[in-house]
Structure formats: structure tokens, C-alpha cells
Amino acid sequence: DPESGNVVGIGGDSLPLIVAPSAPVHVIEESYEFVDSLGHLHGLPAKDATLDLEFFEETRCIIHFQLMLLNAADARLSRERVLFQKFLQENRFKLMSNGINPPADIFKTSSHASIDIPLVATWLISLTREERQRFHALKAAFSVEMDRKDAIFVDPEFPPTFASLAGCTNEAEVVDWRVSTAINITAGLFDGGTDPDDVRFGRLNDGWFLSAVSILAASGGVDDGKVDPVIDNLFITKQTSLTGAYAIRLFKNSQWETVIVDDYFPVLSDSHKMDISAGAAFAHSRHFEELWVPLLEKAYAKYYGGYAALEQGFVHHALEALTGHTSEEIFLSQASRGAKKKTLWKQLLGNKSNRFLMGAGTITSDNADHEILDTGLVFGACYCIYDIREIDGHQLLKLRNPPGDHAEWRGDWGDDSPLWTRRLKKHLGVLANSNDNTFWMSFDDFCNAFRCLYVCKYYDPDKWTKLIRHGAFSIKSDSASGLPTRHNPDCTLENNPHYSLGVTRPTEVIITVTQVDKAGLAPVTVLPIAVYIVQGAMADR
């Protein structure tokens, strides 16, 4: 009421309500922030699309998880079915000895390949309580044994710990060890054959060893989808192991020795997970899709006591250990000097004809001539020698780049060289603009750019005939006459072990003598033995 200053209101019964003010009345003013409602409305479609995407991804994740759960359950049921079938097959007589007699027709077929599930269920229900307890006890013991056999193998002799890395140059970059399927879940032993491109260097300085592996990978063909025989010979375990245990052979002490390794490998930090190595620290294939390369490296490291031992070595020594055949290193600076150069070329042609494995090591950049410094060669590396040809007066070699991504030779007879004619390209199979990591080079440039030649005298079974004969020196049987000397004047050479070889045409023969002890192993102390090749009295052998 403006006159009395009272507050007048209307009550529920329409009577005036008068309230006397007991205190001053304060008017409170509130301010509101301006909201851009139009901008929010314009942003709603984008937010709605984001929510739809999140919902879609979450739904897909749930569906994927449910499918994985169903697949896992199905796999578990299949495994239990197979194990139960195997239990009944292998423990039939053990069950009978415990008073539990399975029905005679429990197996659907005579081969015991499948069982009659309803019949088994009916039979188990018919067992007494004690018989059922004995049955389940035997089944539980069998399951424990199967689980033990299926456990992932961890090598106790060469454990996946940093002790196996002690002394490596880049040891600090390794953060952990992981099983192969944790590096790449689809990793297998061989995937699409064995090729030089499968061999890739890691942080370990063992280029000499991996170069030898690369030469072996090129021995049986490239990109043919097949495992090269010389590499297949190294693996006793031919398939991807479910338990991670692999048996690999190395030729040491004049005999093949078996090395057992697991599939745990050193890895880098997770920031390298998307690299071409998939995070593997040492030797690997592309995205770690194949295991044969890191397994060979690990077997060699285990044999010598650690990965650090692989940081020093020679290519020809690795070739001999991986093939079991004699290998040599020829220094080109001496072998190509003067008249020897012609002999070297003939030797190269002979090696190619015999299908020997060959590689070549480049000189260091400090010793390289100025003309070849910028020609695409990788200095201090090993190249595979694919082919050797003499055509139209040209002496040419076909080489392959060392493992990794490198440029090709850009000198004479390189892919873009003007020396090529259409006829030569056709005869040598040179493809235009091919980026296959191979190139041709003249013999003169080869002798100038490369330091040494590696030759592994691998006797291809398709070309060579191998004959093994065993003999022994024995005083009791008078087969240790020795040689006629002043200290042994009465020796009879005919009593020594000897063999007759008939030669009907000019050919090449390689004779190798290996000493073994009574147990068939290479002896620790090698006794001096001489081999003499003499012509028979009739000059026919």
C-alpha cells in the first residue's frame, strides 16, 4: 500500500492480508551471462555425429568381444573333446585296471577317430560313485599332464633376461623380452618362403652373420614362395611351434649339433611398435612376420654364450656353420693383381657352374676411390652374387644389395646405364625400371669396389654325388702302418685305409676327411692325418 507502507496480499479466501514491515525491504538484482544459443544449436549435429560414432565403436567392440568369447568357448569345447577322446584312447587299459570298463563300442569308427558322445554320457551316469571318482581322478591327472606339455617353453639355459645381452653395444636400448606372438600375433616360422628381403638388421652389430644368412636365402630362388633347401636343413622343427620350442642345427666341430631355443626376443620401447621391426631389437623380418631369421640369430648366440659374441665374426665362418661345407675368403686386391685376374674370372665361372654360394664384401669408404664414392654402394657391407656371365666380350656379375633398404649401383651396367642394348637386356633378363635390389656390374668395377670374395663350396645334391666311407687306424688289425721313414722302414702302405676311385673323364672331386671318436662325436684333440692321392699302376684310377 503506497500510503501506509504495508504489504497487502490476497489470501486463499479472497480476504486482504496485511503484513507490517519489520525490516527494510532490499531489492536484489541478478545478472545473467549471455548464451549463444544459436551457436550451440549449430554445433549439435557435429556432437550428435560424434556420439553416434562412439556408440557405434562401443557396440562393435561389444559384438567383437562376444564373438571372441563364443570362439574361445567353441575352441575350449573342441579342445576338451579332443583331450577326452585322447584320454579314452591312451588310458583304456589303465581304466580297466582300476575297475572301470568303457563300452566296447564307445568309438564310432575302428580307427578311434571319433567317440559316441551320448553313449559316453550314459555310461558315465551308470558308474557308481567310487568308480566315477576314480575316473575323474585319472582324467584330472591326464589334463595336468597335457597342460604341462602345452605350456610355453622358456629356455632355462639361455633365459630371456638381460644376462643374455651382457656386453652388447646397444644393450641399453632393450627394455624387455617378449614372446613372438606378443610382438606380432600372426608371426609364423616361414611365411611365403625364404628370401633375402626377409633378413633385416637390428640394433645388434652382427652384419657378418646376417649377411651369410642372406646369401643362403638367395641360394634356392627369390620370390618363389619356397623355403630354400639349405635353410630348411637347419630347422629340425619344420612348423610353427605352439609351445615356442625350436630345434635348430649348426655345423660345429665337424658335426651337426642341435640347439634348442625358445621364441622370446629382446624388444625396444613401445614407441617402435609401428616400425618395420614391430619393436624387435635384433634381427627380424618385415613387421616380424617370420621367425626363422631371429631364431637362427638366437641359436647362434646361445651356442656362443650370448648375443654379445655375435658382434665379431667373419662371413665365411658363418657360411660354414650354416651349411656344413668348406668356405673361404679371397682377398681381391691380391687375387686380381696382374695375370691372376684372368685366373680369378675363370674361378668365378667355375664357382657358378658348380652352384657354389658366393658373396662379396665392399671396401670401406676411407679406402674407396673418388669415382665410386657416390655410386650407390654400401661400404663395409656384404653383397650376394647371383650370376656371373661373359657375353659379347663383357665380363659381368649380378649382385644383390645387403639386407635393408639401400640404393642400387649407379655406375656402368647399372639399371640406367647407357651401355645396355636391347639384345643384352633380353639375354640377361634385365627389366626396365625394376626396383628389385639387384644390379649388374663389370668385373673390373667389382675388383675395384669390393675387398673380398666369399665362397661356400655347397655341393648341391642336384648336381653333386656324395659318397661317404668310414675307416679307422688300428694297431690290432695292422691298419696303422704310417709312412715309410727311417724310423718306420718296414711299414706296409697297403695296410693303411685306402680307397680306389675310377675317373673316366675330366671332372672335379672334393675330398674331405673328418675325425670322430668312438661315440661318433668330434674329438677334442685332432690327430694329424695325411691324405695322399696317387695314380694306380694301370693309370686307370
Do 205 and 286 lie in one domain? The reply is: yes
- Look-up of cell digits 618362403: 193
Strand partners, 455: 328, 358
Per the domain annotation, does 139 fall within a domain? Answer: yes
Q: pLDDT digits over 485-504, tens only?
A: 888 887 777 788 888 888 88
Q: Which of 435, 210, 470 is nearest to 322 (CA)?
A: 210
What is the distance, to the nearest Å, from the Cα of residue 422 to the centroid of all Cα atoms in its chain?
40
Per the domain annotation, does 236 fall within a domain? Answer: yes
Per the domain annotation, does 376 fall within a domain? Answer: yes
Do 233 and 258 lie in one domain? The reply is: yes
Q: Which of 294, 305, 264, 299 is nearest to 202 (CA)?
A: 294
Where does a domain end: 150, 183, 198?
150
Per the domain annotation, does 25 fall within a domain? Answer: no
Q: Is the CB of residue 456 less than 8 Å from the CB of residue 325?
A: yes
What is the distance, to the nearest Å, from the Cα of residue 44 to the centroid of all Cα atoms in its chain?
53
Do 127 and 253 lie in one domain? The reply is: no
- Whether the CA torsion 233, 238, 240, 243 is positive or negative: it is negative
Share in percent of the chain as helix, strand, coil (round to 5): 35, 15, 50
Percent of the chain with pLDDT over 90: 21
Q: How far is residue 113 from each of residues 108, 117, 141, 321, 332, measured CA to CA in Å?
A: 8, 13, 23, 44, 64
Cα–Cα distance, 434 to 190 (Å, whole number): 26
**pLDDT value, residue 455:** 93
Do 203 and 312 lie in one domain? The reply is: yes
Q: Is the CB of residue 298 less than 8 Å from the CB of residue 180?
A: no
Do 118 and 195 lie in one domain? The reply is: no
Per the domain annotation, does 7 fall within a domain? Answer: no
Do 335 and 309 lie in one domain? The reply is: no
Per the domain annotation, does 485 fall within a domain? Answer: yes
Q: Residues 430, 436, 437, 443: what is their CA dihedral angle, to the nearest 10 degrees?
A: -10
Q: Which of 496, 486, 502 is nearest to 538 (CA)?
A: 502
Question: SS3 string of 204-223?
Answer: CCCHHHHHHHHHHHCCCCCC
Do 332 and 380 lie in one domain? The reply is: yes
Question: What's 426's domain CATH number?
Answer: 3.90.70.10
Question: SS3 string of 437-503?
Answer: CEEEEEHHHHHHHEEEEEEECCCCCCCCCCCCCCCCCCCCCCCCCCCCECCECCCCHHHCCCCCCCC
Where does a domain end: 150, 183, 200?
150
Under-70 pLDDT residues of the chain: 1-35, 79, 82, 107-115, 146, 148-150, 221-223, 404-405, 432-434, 517-524, 539-541
Do 176 and 315 lie in one domain? The reply is: yes
Q: pLDDT digits over 332-370, tens only?
A: 988 888 888 999 999 999 989 888 999 998 887 777 777
Domain count for the chain? 4
Phi, psi of 48 (to 5 degrees): -65, -40
Q: Going by C-beta distance under 8 Å and a sequence separation of 6 or more, which residues neighbour residue 368?
A: 379, 449
Q: pLDDT digits over 204-214, tens only?
A: 988 889 999 99
**pLDDT value, residue 1:** 53
What is the distance, to the nearest Å, from the Cα of residue 161 to the centroid of all Cα atoms in its chain?
20
Cα–Cα distance, 260 to 127 (Å, whole number): 46
Q: Going by C-beta distance under 8 Å and a sequence separation of 6 or more, which residues neighbour residue 25?
A: none
Where does a domain end: 150, 185, 218?
150
Q: Going by C-beta distance under 8 Å and a sequence separation of 6 or more, which residues neighbour residue 504?
A: none
Q: Parallel, antiparallel, or unpaired: how do β-strands 7-10 and 176-179 relate?
A: unpaired
The whole domain housing 278 covers 162-323
Three-state SS at 515? coil
Q: Residues 485, 490, 496, 501: what is their CA dihedral angle, to the nearest 10 degrees?
A: 80
Do 171 and 309 lie in one domain? The reply is: yes
Exposure b/e, 272-291, CB count within 10 A at least 16 = b: beeeebbbbbbbbbebbbbb
Do 356 and 445 lie in one domain? The reply is: yes
Q: Identify whether 401 is a catalytic site residue.
A: yes
* Helix or strand run (H / E) with residue 456: strand 450-456
| Half-sphere exposure of residue 232: CA atoms within 13 angstroms, side-chain side | 9
Do 171 and 301 lie in one domain? The reply is: yes
Catalytic residue among 91, 184, 351, 401: 401
Cα–Cα distance, 194 to 499 (Å, whole number): 40
What is the distance, to the nearest Å, from the Cα of residue 257 to the centroid of all Cα atoms in its chain?
19
Q: Which of 403, 406, 402, 413 is nearest to 439 (CA)?
A: 413
Three-state SS at 327? strand
Per the domain annotation, does 101 fall within a domain? Answer: yes
Crossing angle of helices 207-217 and 292-303, rounded to 10° = 130
**pLDDT value, residue 256:** 86
Do 245 and 121 lie in one domain? The reply is: no
397: cell is 656379375
Per the domain annotation, does 1 fall within a domain? Answer: no
179: cell is 614372446
